[in-house]
Amino acid sequence: MAHRLRGAAAITGLGITPMGRIYDKSSTDFAVDAVRLAIADSGLEKSEIDGLLINAGITGNTGGGVSLQLQNALGMGNLRLLNHMNAAGSTAAQMVQYATMAIDAGMVNHVVCVFADAPLREGASAGAAYGGAGRRQGPTGILGLSAGAGHFGANTSYALAAQRHMALYGTTQDQLGAVAVAERSWATMNPHATMRDPLSLEQYHASRWIVEPLHLLDCCLVSNGAVAVIVSSGERAREMAQPPVYIWGMGQGHPGDSRSAGDFPETETGARIAAETVFGMAGVGPEDIDVCELYDCYTYTVVVTLEDYGFCKKGEGGPFVEDGKLGPGGSLPTNTGGGQLSAYYMWGMTPLSEAVIQTRGQGGERQVEKHDLVLATGNGGALNYHASLVLSPHAN
């Protein structure tokens, strides 16, 4: 028997702003734009929106991030649900989950979930937008040993994780590169994507080291912009403007980061826990998934996430991706908009937005023919936080 909440709610609106090096808008400006676009997409009136969930990106930590003030900028004075949430890159999927539960509880009708960020500054590198985030104060104590050893930011953490995977399982640079190449192939067909020139494995290898074993092209973009989605009941979704994107499964898994105690989740992530819940609720398994939209802050994240969802065995993610099955025409179309590596970096909204497009069948040139079940994942911290959704165009 199907889970009671399977198909009970649906994503009914999507708004994606222009992305990239756009300097004349604040995070809040971007957020308002995305919400306006999502409302127009859904066919609702603004007055019908009665829930608002907000996620600021890195500017939530470094300053200038979108805040609860967004409610006032949007002129939404009758909200029945409001929060500013942060579990890093897992937040987008989580916002949809909490919206679904609140709708089921009868608290609220239409919840807009928005992510906005604007860390890029004119004349400063993308790395500066993130690499500087961790060193505003001098390091202290045990946690400070990382910075004291010259460890700066997520690039270092993911390089350490990837190196461990390579040592344990023989994962190769070619295999990581296969992820970058496949995603770029998809991005060439995505008008929202920042990087649309085709990429060869040779070009991948030639890109400079950032933190070895990660090349520049193993690392995600940094983008200014915003994405919003609207969650409504499945029943209402059937009468709305867009093809409904029903929420079949919801899951989370959070190993955290107690690395000083020896539990750094380098090669087994929260996706393992989330997989049981999300597939359990949806009543499906990895073999049923048609399209994957996986959080891809680094190429390595895709490899380890595929393993943890059971698409292949632990340690076999490298050979699994090497044959090009993630790319156009492959047997497991993955990150079909180009992902965070080639399209845009909106934390968990990157995979979620493309999942909505594919589930609706609105992917145009890049639309995957069979899209009955789509997995969208979010990952945050250094593989510390994870949340995911299984989406379907079918009510049940």
Partner 1 sequence: MADDVPVKPVSQPDELTEPFFAAGAEGRLVVAVCTVCGDMRLPTSATCPTCLAEGLEWREVSGKGTVHTFAIMHRRYHPAWEPDLPYNIAVVELEEGPRLPANIVGVENDDIAVGMPVEVVWEREGEAPVPRFRPVA
327, burial (CB in 10 Å: exposed 0-12, middle 13-18, buried 19+): buried
Among 15, 57, 60, 153, indicate the residue that binds partner 1 (CB under 8 A): 153
d(CA 91, CA 136): 24
Q: Please give the residues from 182 up to 211 whose contact with partner 1 meets the rule CB under 8 A.
A: 208-211
d(CA 250, CA 173): 33
Among 88, 161, 376, 383, indicate the residue that binds partner 1 (CB under 8 A): 161
With respect to partner 1, which residue has the nearer C-beta, 143 or 241? 143
Among 47, 69, 72, 260, indicate the residue that binds partner 1 (CB under 8 A): 260
Nearest distance from C-beta of residue 155 to partner 1, angstroms:
8
Binding residue count for partner 1, defined by CB under 8 A: 43
Residues in contact with 198: Cβ distance below 8 Å, sequence separation at least 6, in sequence order: 184, 185, 188
Among 63, 75, 123, 138, indicate the residue that binds partner 1 (CB under 8 A): 138
Among 123, 149, 202, 369, indicate the residue that binds partner 1 (CB under 8 A): 149
Q: Kindly state whether residue 314 participates in binding partner 1, applying the rule CB under 8 A.
A: no
Q: Which two tokens stand for residue 254?
A: 């959070």
Nearest distance from C-beta of residue 343 to partner 1, angstroms:
23
- 266: DSSP letter: S
Phi, psi of 10 (to 5 degrees): -145, 155
Q: Kindly state whether residue 244 participates in binding partner 1, applying the rule CB under 8 A.
A: no
Helix/strand/coil for 224: strand
Q: Which two tokens stand for residue 12?
A: 């009914």
Q: Please give the residues from 51 up to 110 whose contact with partner 1 meets the rule CB under 8 A.
A: none
Q: Which of 246, 295, 300, 385 is catalytic?
A: 295
Q: Kindly state whether residue 147 participates in binding partner 1, applying the rule CB under 8 A.
A: yes
- 57: DSSP letter: -
Nearest distance from C-beta of residue 319 to partner 1, angstroms:
20
Q: Kindly state whether residue 241 participates in binding partner 1, applying the rule CB under 8 A.
A: no
d(CA 268, CA 38): 35
With respect to partner 1, which residue has the nearer C-beta, 161 or 199? 161
**Residue 16, H or E segment:** strand 9-16
CA 128, 119, 183, 253 torsion: positive or negative? positive
With respect to partner 1, which residue has the nearer C-beta, 60 or 213? 213
Stretch that binds partner 1, among 34-42, 48-56, 77-85, 259-267 (CB under 8 A): 259-267
Residues in contact with 392: Cβ distance below 8 Å, sequence separation at least 6, in sequence order: 7, 245, 246, 248, 359, 372, 373, 374
With respect to partner 1, which residue has the nearer C-beta, 82 or 147? 147
With respect to partner 1, which residue has the nearer C-beta, 59 or 156? 156
Among 60, 213, 251, 378, indicate the residue that binds partner 1 (CB under 8 A): 213
- 24: DSSP letter: S
Q: Kindly state whether residue 300 participates in binding partner 1, applying the rule CB under 8 A.
A: no
Residues in contact with 105: Cβ distance below 8 Å, sequence separation at least 6, in sequence order: none
**Around 24, how many Cα atoms within 13 Å sit in the side-chain half-sphere?**
1
Active site residue 295: yes
With respect to partner 1, which residue has the nearer C-beta, 160 or 180? 160
With respect to partner 1, which residue has the nearer C-beta, 106 or 141? 141
Q: Kindly state whether residue 20 participates in binding partner 1, applying the rule CB under 8 A.
A: no
With respect to partner 1, which residue has the nearer C-beta, 13 or 213? 213
Closest by CA to 288, choosing from 332, 329, 253, is 332
d(CA 375, CA 143): 35
d(CA 64, CA 56): 9
Among 26, 67, 163, 277, indicate the residue that binds partner 1 (CB under 8 A): 163
Closest by CA to 244, choosing from 41, 18, 107, 40, is 41
Among 145, 201, 206, 241, indicate the residue that binds partner 1 (CB under 8 A): 145
Q: Kindly state whether residue 261 participates in binding partner 1, applying the rule CB under 8 A.
A: yes
Which spans of this chain sit near partner 1 (rule: CB under 8 A)? 127, 131-132, 135, 138-153, 155-156, 159-161, 163-164, 167-168, 208-214, 258-262, 264, 266
Residues identified as active-site:
295, 345
